[in-house]
Structure 1
Amino acid sequence: MQADIFCRVVDNYGDVGVCWRLARQLARDRGWDVRLWVDDLESFAHIQPGLAPTAPRQRLAGVDVLHWTDAPDPALCARDVVIEAFACDPPATFIASMRRTHPVWINLEYLSAESWVESCHGLPSQRPDGLVKHFFFPGFTAATGGLLREPGLSAERDALQASAPLQDSFLRAVGVPEDALALRQAGARTVSLFCYPSAPAAELAQALAADPRPTVLLVPQGVAPALESACGAPGAPRVVRLPFIAQPDYDRLLWCADLNFVRGEDSFVRAAWAARPLVWQIYPQEENVHLEKLDAWLARYPAPEPAHALIRAWNQPQPGRTAAACADALAPAAWQAWLDAARQWDACQSALPGLAENLAVFCTELAKKR
């Protein structure tokens, strides 16, 4: 199959993160010929070393990466499959070529745990020009498109999590200094933090400082920039700033952490595959629509109530609320229940087919009917 994936970068890294993982999987694991169109190569370059932000076309990891501009090359026409990520609408000239070939056209939707997704997954939408677009919903049940997961991911994760020396070697390689590694070796909790500016990061630092167990806090450059000023008290977390790293290394970073604070869609799914406790900051939407989506996921996530309370507080900051909720969630009984729930959630989701596999089968079946 020959496929084009279109991606407009809205959430800096999440949109292109999802599309890049999908493109690589379809190319590597399914043998597809994939072209990935991205409008913001600067953001893309932060998570993919070797990508040239000014190149109109380049090949990486078996995928053709094209800079999606206002005037795309008219010679690049539609082929077997067109995937528009998150309703981004391919350019008009490209759609014109689609009218000639009638490819399988997929609108890859945002991830949601809401129940209505199951009834809408896979539905066609007939356009006046004769083209048909099908809606493909990632999700958490067998009646949805599933989650992005590479073959062998769980085995690779388990091997790293079972070896403290391998973890130390990896963390050292991505920039964690020796004093922070020594704290980990002495029993400090490792927490990774990737959040939006609205997150109550100062309250998180306050709660971690009050916890009897010391903390090493791994944070990307530029995220929660005021965090260091909130970490000057005795017992405060040891903050380690790290550069943005390639996606496979980000997976490993999540695997090394005991607790992961993540944002958006891509890092949320990757934290789930870490089989460790996670706190999700969902992408904010007008009229708090995102909170309904958050509640839909929490209704499925088997963590104990203190963990749910912390996740809600993280998404609806109020003075003092996050610090208190964090203290409750890290209390020994609640923490152990959260650890068990994270492994249960991973096992449940791992038993389902992955998104790339489901999408490839769906497109292949549609192509046979053309």
Structure 2
Amino acid sequence: MTVRWDIFCTVVDNFGDIGVTWRLARQLVAEHQCAVRLWVDDLRAFERLCPDIDVSLREQWQQGVQVCQWPKDWPATEAADVVIAAFACQLPSAYMDAMAEREVTPLWMNLDYLSAEDWVIGCHGLPSVKYKHVQKYFFFPGFQAGTGGLLREADLLERRRQFQHDDAAQKSFLHGLGVVREPGARLISLFAYENAGLASWFEAMATDVCPSHVLVPEGRVLGDVARWLGVDGLAPGALHRRGGLTVQVLPFVRQDEYDRLLWCCDFNAVRGEDSFVRAQWAGRPLLWHIYQQEEDVHLEKLEAFLRLYTQGLSESAEKAISGLWRDWNAGQDMAEHWKAVCAEHLELAEHAQAWCLEQGSRADLATALVKFYRNWL
């Protein structure tokens, strides 16, 4: 019989939470033949990732997934075989009662945030709280053996390889976004939160002898970009040049198109969790703007990832990329470390490919979840 899954998502950070759960839901349907209901409390945010969504509907089907609006007046609903509370969201009390009333207890998991911290390995798969007789388990994505791995479709790396070796396909894709790549220019994507360090980074690129072309999808960083350019506002299609830097604003694109954008670029600046993982699958050097947390807890997570990611780099390359990440996440002057990253670009590019292949050798997150359920049975 088909295993039924319910995935619950509350949209906290605009696109990160729904981005992860939407990818997971689609993969469980397409590759593991699961029946998935995705409960979402903010269909407006979801619509940006999946324009086919009708925000007025309480229930609809998208790409094989039953998408349900998470209502305040929770309807009588039978609990699924597997229940995922994404990122520690609180399930409706009536649904928790429905879990407890099932003849066969469901598997209840908290799909937690991605982290490279050492303690994650020790906590992954452990039981958490109980509701009546229903046990909840921790499930941690991660970068090391002993974690749940990363979201990755079965054919993703091969599709990326073919695309990156097809100049015509890249040119056609960029042309569809209104982008004409200048020969010899670094192509950079920028998806970030507001950041005081942006001006120093853009200034360094504008004064560099090597030209840079920065593609900025609609998002929160556009205000900082506009201030640096000295314009009142920016909309998709805007194109500005200053010195060796070209800045171009792109429309917000759906997830599959964003993947191809990352694959086209020589360097990708990303934010949050979903785009962070997809940039790693692009196999190109990257810059991560981590989601800020109280008491700078996020900086511990940043350092934990850097310790893993930079293993095997030369001292100069490690200092360059680590310094750039720290500058960016502290909103500090990035010029010196950006110049160092450019000088170490070949090594960093080779390292990004090697890191991608290493992570790709591990079981992906959806497969790990399905295996956990089968073992639990």
**Corresponding position of 2:234:** none
Does the CA-based 8 Å contact 1:199-1:315 persist in structure 2?
no
Paired amino acid for 2:75? D
Residue by residue, what CA displacement relative to the aligned partner does 1:100-138 show, whole Å, maximum 9, x if unpaired?
122100100000000000010000124251110010000
Does structure 1 residue 191 correspond to structure 2 residue 188?
yes
Q: How many residues align?
A: 356
Matches of 1:236 and 1:213, distance apart in 2:
7
Does structure 1 residue 224 correspond to structure 2 residue 221?
yes
Kindly state the Cα deviation for residue 364 of structure 1 after the two structures are TM-superposed. Answer: 1.9
Kindly state the Cα deviation for residue 227 of structure 1 after the two structures are TM-superposed. Answer: 1.2
**Corresponding position of 2:204:** 207
The equivalences for 1:58-137 within 5 A come to: 58-74=60-76, 76-101=77-102, 102-127=105-130, 129-137=132-140
Residue by residue, what CA displacement relative to the aligned partner does 1:320-344 show, whole Å, maximum 9, x if unpaired?
x21221122112xx11111111011
Does structure 1 residue 312 correspond to structure 2 residue 349?
no
Which runs of 5 or more structure 2 residues have no equivalent in the other structure?
A: 230-239
Paired amino acid for 1:22? L
Paired amino acid for 2:125? G
Paired amino acid for 1:194? F
Instruction: Compare 120-129 and 306-315 and name the one that shifted more.
Output: 120-129
Does structure 1 residue 37 correspond to structure 2 residue 47?
no
Does structure 1 residue 274 correspond to structure 2 residue 282?
yes
**Corresponding position of 1:330:** 342
**Corresponding position of 1:300:** 308
Kindly state the Cα deviation for residue 234 of structure 1 after the two structures are TM-superposed. Answer: 4.0
Does the CA-based 8 Å contact 1:106-1:133 persist in structure 2?
yes
Which runs of 5 or more structure 1 residues have no equivalent in the other structure?
A: none
Paired amino acid for 1:191? I
Residue by residue, what CA displacement relative to the aligned partner does 1:62-96 show, whole Å, maximum 9, x if unpaired?
0000011211221x220201000011011111111
Matches of 1:82 and 1:214, distance apart in 2:
50
Does the CA-based 8 Å contact 2:44-2:55 persist in structure 1?
yes
Kindly state the Cα deviation for residue 233 of structure 1 after the two structures are TM-superposed. Answer: 7.2
Residue by residue, what CA displacement relative to the aligned partner does 1:156-193 show, whole Å, maximum 9, x if unpaired?
111111122110101112x224xx33x1xx11110000
**Corresponding position of 2:52:** 50
Matches of 2:65 and 2:278, distance apart in 1:
21
Question: Normalized against structure 1, the TM-score is what?
Answer: 0.93
Match of 2:261 among 249, 253, 256: 253
Matches of 1:346 and 1:125, distance apart in 2:
32
Matches of 2:90 and 2:60, distance apart in 1:
22
Kindly state the Cα deviation for residue 53 of structure 1 after the two structures are TM-superposed. Answer: 1.6
Matches of 1:197 and 1:322, distance apart in 2:
15
Residues 1:236 and 1:55: Cα distance change in structure 2 (over 3 Å): farther
Question: Normalized against structure 2, the TM-score is what?
Answer: 0.92
**Corresponding position of 2:232:** none
Matches of 1:139 and 1:364, distance apart in 2:
20
**Paired-residue identity, %:** 45
Residues 1:176 and 1:298: Cα distance change in structure 2 (over 3 Å): same
Matches of 2:50 and 2:129, distance apart in 1:
37
